[in-house]
Structure 1
Amino acid sequence: MCGIAGIFHAETPKPVDPRRVERMCDALVHRGPDGSGVWTGPGIGLGHRRLSIIDLEGSPQPMHALDDRAVIVFNGEIYNYRELRRELEKLGAKFRTQGDTEVILAAWQQWGAECLSRLDGMFALAIWDKAKRTLFLARDRLGVKPLFLAQLSDGGIAFASELKGILAHPMFKRRLDPLAIDDYLAWGYVPDTKSILAGVEKLPAGHFLLMEQGKPVPRPQRWWDISFAERRKGSEADLSAELVHLLREAVESRMVADVPLGAFLSGGVDSSSVVALMAEASNAPVRTCSIGFDDNALDETSYARQIAERFGTDHRARVVGQGDFAEIDTLAAMFDEPFADASALPTWRVCQLAREDVTVALSGDGADEAFAGYRRQVFHLHEERARAIIPQRVRETIFGPLGRIWPKADWAPRPLRAKSTLQSIAQDGNEGYARSLSILTPEQRRALYSPTGRQSLGGYEAERDLIALMRDAPARSGLDRAQYADLKFWMPGDILTKVDRTSMAVSLEAREPLIDHRLIEFAATLPERMRVRGKQGKYLLKKSMERYLPENILYRPKQGFVTPIAAWFRGPLANEARAVGRSSIIAQLGFFDQKTLQDQAEAHISGRADHSRLLWQFVMLERSLQRLNPSA
């Protein structure tokens, strides 16, 4: 695992100062503490920071092809590189190293952009073709590894694994993108293709960008997508057998490393499944680690211990408490952009714990997106059935007004908290799911904005991109579209960003076997009844793992990696909650109504409402803006 950075002059081959590339790479040292390298040519500069995982003494980067016609920098792991190497050798390729980087370079020279479909792994890469004067940038199918792109004031283009690499370039001007503020308040993160700063984009997952000197910069091209358009046939037993086979292959392929390897273990279905299959494939005890909380209602470490004992793992656990809030500035620095998924804090802590013993850790991320494990997906399936029965005019004229007047009873039992459900059913399926996925609805966000903030947005609403994504999805049903949105929008923007930044902050490589592309493609073809039965999501996955895992792990209510921030903001962190409404940084932005923020904080502290997610969003926004110091 590594960090990459570079500078490209598309119009004319201006000289690239290697010290600037080096400075960008130095900002990424946490991603690669084991080595570094910089190479420059006419109009191009490539830089690399290395975390050694495979071929520890070889494979330095930037790496030149044997014929010296191409140069590569690469962040990630290619799990099938040995098979690809053998295929390329039969076609005449020669190799000097034992790693995967040289295999990618040879594959590019053999097949061009078509090589991407042959790569099984996670990656962000840049290849410079000296003869054609082209720069090829590419990102893996699901967006495990990030790649930021930015327009520089001198006309150049900079790219880096993290935004901090871009920020290290002196020709980049920091200007806030007001539309990204609405995105952030809607989702809790800036979507994967956007940035909090104007002039910065992220190369979309499953896309490549091929730029040639002397020609206009084209738009990225998609090279992979997920399709829910087909339905697989077969008995439950046959589908289960195929699923277990794919799971085994995904886990075993990610256990290849020349450094110590372990796993995150939360005690939920997904991480427990990964650990079970690792234990099956390993001759030695699997090293596992988990993080608990000082709030017993949210602590799941007892389930992790149960799995650790069942499979004889070498297990360690620690506890996250309210005192960890003192590390909020460190957490904000990891993400650069505002990032309000509060589970980032325990995720970072479990990465720290893992890094004490291992350099690579397998996680259970991705199964909820692929197999319909989220409660919102199950609700959406049933809401879609209601939409099919109740005429749209009835839904709009009855459920819409009822939803608007229904109280937002955060304190009430779940069946009585019907406001969001009523509002969702009144809309079409895509709009309803966007509402269920958002932290703050458009109405709630508008209530927070000042007149200046609303004017800056010009009528923009963050949900539009997600609604369009669902509308155009290669899908057959509302559940298909919801899962497509989760895999293409939510997962790269939130889940994978969280795991990448927190693991790389401690120089740990995280691998996600449950988003192996073959597994994702298989899951997308499953009939709905194999994904959801009644109120139960991940049906086939859970049935398939019954031979490995006990019933109380498989079928207990889903909790997720939740931090007790609601209680913290009512207790020891109440002053932090109040500080949100008084923040000079937020005030200087001029985007928000400070009085409304103060009222929200007091309502939460008093227990009249649960605004913990909103308060966490503003705490992280303030810390991020403090570091970025952008102009409005």
Structure 2
Amino acid sequence: MCGIVGVVGTRQGFSLEEDLELMAGEIVHRGPDSFGYWSDTSLGIGLGHRRLSIQDLSAHGHQPMQSQCARYQISFNGEIYNFLELKNELSAQGSNFFGGSDTEVLIEAISKWGLSATLSKIEGMFAFALWDLHKNVITLCRDRLGEKPLYYGWLGERFVFSSELKSIEIIAEDLQIDSESLSNYFYYGYVPAPLSIYSGIYKLMPGTSICFSVNGNKVERTEFSPVTNSARISPVPYWSVQNVIDDKAKCFFQTEQQAIEGLDSTLRKVISEQSLADVPLGAFLSGGIDSSTVVAIMQQVNSKPTQTYTIGFDDKDFNEANFAKDISSHLGTDHHELYISGQDCLDLVPSLSSIYDEPIADSSQIPTYLVSKLARGNVTVCLSGDGGDELFAGYNRYVYMEKVWKAQSKLPFFLRRIFAKFIKVLPPTFWNTVYSALAKLAGDDGQQNNVGLKVQKLASLLECGDITSAYRYLISYWQPGSFPLISHAQINIDLFENAPNGLSSFIDKAMYWDQLSYLPGDNLTKVDRASMAVSLETRLPLLNHRVVEFAWQTPLSMKIKDGQTKWLLRQVLYKYVPKELIERPKMGFSVPVATWLRGPLREWAEALIDDSNIPLLDKTLILKVWNQHQSAASDNSNKLWALLMFLDWYRQRVGRS
């Protein structure tokens, strides 16, 4: 894994090489092993690269890399998992190779087959910049699901790109927060592509490439707006979830057993490919369905016990480490665990806004970073189970939302509003107590996170007019009209529009929406930044495009069965792990933020809020939301975490400038 940077155009007082070195210096964590650059001063273009050596540790893997035909230069971040297969195919067609890196295979494939054909053949996670010396064209490409990041845009007349915003910030003179991006952030909890937090800087959409001609040390930007699709130069998709859905055949499985065996076979092949590395390799193990499946199959396809890593919490309501340990013992992995407290979180919090160089409101960023740091003590690569929820209908909200909507639709709207007002009068702590008491009467241990918060969300759902609006509310942080902003821009990116015609059920549409935006915008961003901050490569076998395509060829009835989510994936796991080690309420990789904000994080949070004299923010509203949370009148932890992540990000950026 690596980090890439590039620039077209020079700035006064700095050479291309100096700018490239500055940019690359901001992402040393992505590639601590070496730095390289290539430049053409006559055209004012330069590519830079930071290397984390995974395949071919020799100098033959050094980048930027030139093709043997001398037409192309490439700066590549990622892994091509089927590069050995492609290498054999190219060798049979007469290509010679000097090293063993996947980058050399990639650039020779482009030289021989062209970019379009190569993109259709490669399997992996990647973001790269390709310079065509014959045409003076630079092409940026990003992998199918958005596992690897790529930012690009303009600083005045200069064109820049990078794996992270830090590299752009370091050479920028005046970056402005984009008002639409900020509104989107408070709504969704992340800034959705193609926006970035800064005006004029964009994220390349997953599964697309974009080309720019370089003329006179400039890249043309006239009428450029990938947000409104009015650009003369627009990202071109080479793969999309929508096309997978549109092209999917009817389920080709005659029986459920055929589907189980088919998924198991696909996962074994994918995980075997992703276990290839010239450095030590391990896996994250939370004890949930997804990570347990990945680890179980790793144990089957690899000759040595897998090194597994998990994070535990002192708060038993959020702790799954004991479940992970049981699964590890059954599978025979070499297991490592670390328990964290509120103080551990407090120690990490000041670093979050530098690790995640855009604000992101997903509090599982904390354990994700800590488990990455734990793993990096022993290994350089870790496999992870991310993606299973979005592909195999694993989120409780899918089933919950459909059930709630069907039930509440039977009530007249005016009655729903009355019930909603009644529920909202009572604080979350009341509903937590009621749930625990009823659960114990029923013989259950009453262990369920954030019941009060979920009941309050249910109240708001009762006031929604349609199921799409209800789902939009369910996954939001702040609502338009109550943003903590003095004024806010209109949200033009509606993630819930234009679902493919082939999707008839709400749950299918919700999975599509989540794969399109939440997965790359939140989940994959979280994993990439957390792991790369400690120079750890993470691989996500469930997001191999063959698994994605398999999932969409599988009917919903095999994903949710008898109210059980991820049914098909569970059946694969049951081949390797007893059911009794798996079946328990879903907890997710969450942290007790609500409690911490009233305890060990309270002083930090109050200091940020007290200092938040930012013209953009409505401090009166912010204090109201904060005081409601402290009095336990309402659980505002999600809203407050989104706010605090922005405040800390803003404080560090303003202080730096």
Confirm or deny a common fold (TM above 0.5).
yes
Deviation at 1:429, TM superposition (A): 3.2
Deviation at 1:522, TM superposition (A): 0.8
Aligned with 1:507: secondary structure? coil
Q: Separation in 2 of the partners of 1:417 and 1:278? A: 36
Matched, 1:50 2:51: yes
Q: Separation in 1 of the partners of 2:142 and 2:625? A: 40
Residue in structure 1 matching 2:525, options 486, 497, 503: 497
Deviation string for 1:222-247 (max 9, x for gaps)?
Answer: 11111334441421011111010111
Q: Separation in 2 of the partners of 1:510 and 1:315? A: 18
Which residue in the other structure is 2:334 paired with?
A: 314
Deviation string for 1:583-619 (max 9, x for gaps)?
Answer: 2xx32x2222212222222221222211122222222
Matched, 1:224 2:221: no
Amino acid aligned to 1:190: V
Q: Separation in 1 of the partners of 2:641 and 2:70? A: 51
| 8 Å CA contact 1:578, 1:598 repeated in 2 | no
Alignment of 1:136-535 (within 5 A): 136-153=139-156, 155-170=157-172, 172-214=173-215, 216=220, 218-226=233-241, 227-229=244-246, 230=248, 231-234=250-253, 235-324=255-344, 325-382=346-403, 399=416, 403=420, 406-407=423-424, 409-411=427-429, 412=431, 413=435, 414=451, 418=455, 420-421=457-458, 423-424=460-461, 426-445=464-483, 448-449=484-485, 453-454=486-487, 456-457=488-489, 460-461=490-491, 464-469=493-498, 471=499, 475-535=503-563
Which residue in the other structure is 2:620 paired with?
A: 595
Aligned with 1:476: secondary structure? coil
| 8 Å CA contact 1:531, 1:537 repeated in 2 | yes
Deviation string for 1:121-146 (max 9, x for gaps)?
Answer: 00000110100111111000000000
Deviation at 1:112, TM superposition (A): 2.3
Q: Separation in 2 of the partners of 1:395 and 1:250? A: 50
Matched, 1:551 2:579: yes
Q: Separation in 2 of the partners of 1:165 and 1:417? A: 40
| 8 Å CA contact 1:580, 1:615 repeated in 2 | no
Deviation at 1:400, TM superposition (A): 5.7
C-alpha RMSD of matched pairs (Å): 2.4
| 8 Å CA contact 1:339, 1:617 repeated in 2 | yes
Structure 1 residues 618-627 or 355-364, which shifts more? 618-627
Q: Separation in 2 of the partners of 1:483 and 1:267? A: 23
Aligned with 1:128: secondary structure? strand
Amino acid aligned to 1:177: D
Matched, 1:536 2:551: no
Q: TM-score, normalised by structure 1?
A: 0.91
Aligned with 1:145: secondary structure? coil
| 8 Å CA contact 1:265, 1:275 repeated in 2 | yes
Amino acid aligned to 2:424: P
Deviation at 1:396, TM superposition (A): 5.5
Amino acid aligned to 1:428: D
Q: Separation in 2 of the partners of 1:440 and 1:175? A: 22
| 8 Å CA contact 1:582, 1:598 repeated in 2 | no
| 8 Å CA contact 1:582, 1:594 repeated in 2 | no
* Cα pair distance change 1:416/1:263, threshold 3 Å: closer
Structure 2 unaligned residues grouped into runs of 5+? 222-232, 436-450
Deviation at 1:430, TM superposition (A): 2.7
Deviation at 1:474, TM superposition (A): 5.5
Q: Separation in 2 of the partners of 1:556 and 1:73? A: 45
Deviation at 1:302, TM superposition (A): 0.7
Deviation at 1:398, TM superposition (A): 5.2
* Cα pair distance change 1:288/1:473, threshold 3 Å: farther
Matched, 1:81 2:86: no
Which residue in the other structure is 2:68 paired with?
A: 66
Structure 1 residues 376-385 or 306-315, which shifts more? 376-385
Deviation at 1:541, TM superposition (A): 0.8
Instruction: Using the aligned pairs only, state the percent identity.
Output: 37
Aligned with 2:317: secondary structure? coil
Deviation string for 1:49-93 (max 9, x for gaps)?
Answer: 000000000211010011211100000000000111121223332
Deviation at 1:44, TM superposition (A): 1.5
Deviation string for 1:478-497 (max 9, x for gaps)?
Answer: 21110011111001011111
Aligned with 1:288: secondary structure? strand
| 8 Å CA contact 2:152, 2:204 repeated in 1 | yes
Q: TM-score, normalised by structure 2?
A: 0.88
Which residue in the other structure is 1:626 paired with?
A: 651
Aligned with 2:561: secondary structure? coil
Which residue in the other structure is 1:119 paired with?
A: 122
Structure 1 unaligned residues grouped into runs of 5+? none
Aligned with 2:153: secondary structure? strand
Aligned with 2:114: secondary structure? helix
Deviation at 1:252, TM superposition (A): 0.9
Aligned with 2:202: secondary structure? strand
Q: Separation in 2 of the partners of 1:481 and 1:275? A: 29
Q: Separation in 2 of the partners of 1:510 and 1:276? A: 17
Aligned with 2:497: secondary structure? helix
